[in-house]
Amino acid sequence: MLAAPRGRPRAAFLQLAVAARTMAGAPTVSLPELRSLLATGQARLIDVRSREEAAAGTIPGALNIPVSELESALQMEPAAFQALYSAEKPKLQEENLIFFCQMGKRGLQATQLARGLGYTGARNFAGAYREWSQKEG
């Protein structure tokens, strides 16, 4: 457990601890938390890497929507989304809508984009596929 450094007000320390759980203002999810959410069926994963990258390996259950298509995909009518991606379109209020890429940058961009479009439960798996493949694969 983290302890507040001497001479530093507890409130300021807590703000720093919360900030450490985000990347540039986008909420993140850790690998242990992701494992737990997946085990209980509480996460919806979107792999924003290219189709070629995703075809080479991805997190089981992830839907591949390349980051270059994400904005238009998230603004589609549900029937069009279903037809193109063979999956139900995420709902704006969906909790634990988790984006990831290979290293973290595109996942962060995707999370920020989704949150900007009103997807309040959008989060970034900061460890990305790289961490998953090293520890799970």
Q: Which residues are catalytic?
A: 101
CA atoms of 15 and 41, how far apart (whole Å): 30
**Which ranges constitute the DSSP H helices of the chain?**
10-20, 31-39, 51-55, 67-74, 78-85, 105-116, 128-135
